Amino acid sequence: MFDGFWENVSRYPRYFITIILGVLLNTFSPLAPLFKNPASAIATISLFVGIIVFTIFTLRAMLGLSTI
């Protein structure tokens, strides 16, 4: 009944890593052409930084953490 149980369990981390890499590649591959032009690359990076900063400030305000 439990033949090869640990062998099967040991495959899950590899499967998880494969799924995560596939999601990341499919998410960011359409953005690759934007980095060929310096102006669009700066705009894209600025957008990502802005989204991250906005999220951080929003979560800090929602959780009642001290402001900067």
Close Cβ partners of 40 (under 8 Å, ≥ 6 residues apart): 34
At 41 the pLDDT is: 94
At 53 the pLDDT is: 97
Whether residue 44 contacts residue 35, with contact meaning beta carbons closer than 8 Å, is answered with yes
- Give the residue extent of every domain in the chain: 5-63
Hey, what are 4's tokens? Answer: 């090869």
Q: What is the mean pLDDT of each run of 10 residues along the chain (68 residues)?
A: 83 94 94 93 96 95 81
At 68 the pLDDT is: 61
Under DSSP, is residue 2 helix (H, G, I), strand (E, B) or coil? coil
At 1 the pLDDT is: 66
At 2 the pLDDT is: 75
